[in-house]
Amino acid sequence: MDIFQFIGFLGMICIVLAYFFLQIGKMTSADLSYQFINLAGAILLIISLFVHFNLGSFLIEVFWIFITLYGIFKIYKDKREVKE
């Protein structure tokens, strides 16, 4: 296994663990930790895809990143509105 496959493997572990924690109730989609684990996983997978390119996987990770960034933005926005 080369370094880029290992990086992709770590990314996959991040995404699967975040989803598992969501399913067992240890995290919610409103937890920043859930969002950041997803973001890290997607970024790691994109890094691995620069070397072992697959268009379908690349596109899903790009969308995953944008959706996760939206989730992070929404959490911060909701927290700001509660303070007001």
Determine the structural domain holding residue 48 and report its residue range: 3-83
Tell me how many domains the chain contains.
Answer: 1
Contacts of 43 (CB under 8 A, 6+ apart): 11, 65
38 close to 18: Cβ distance less than 8 angstroms: yes
pLDDT digits (tens, 9 = 90+) for 56-76: 999 999 999 999 999 999 999
What pTM, to 2 d.p., does this model score?
0.91
As a dihedral over the C-alpha atoms of residue 5, residue 9, residue 14, residue 56, rounded to 10 degrees, the angle is 70
17 close to 61: Cβ distance less than 8 angstroms: no
Task: Give the pLDDT confidence score for residue 84 in this predicted structure.
Answer: 75
Residues of the chain with pLDDT under 70: none
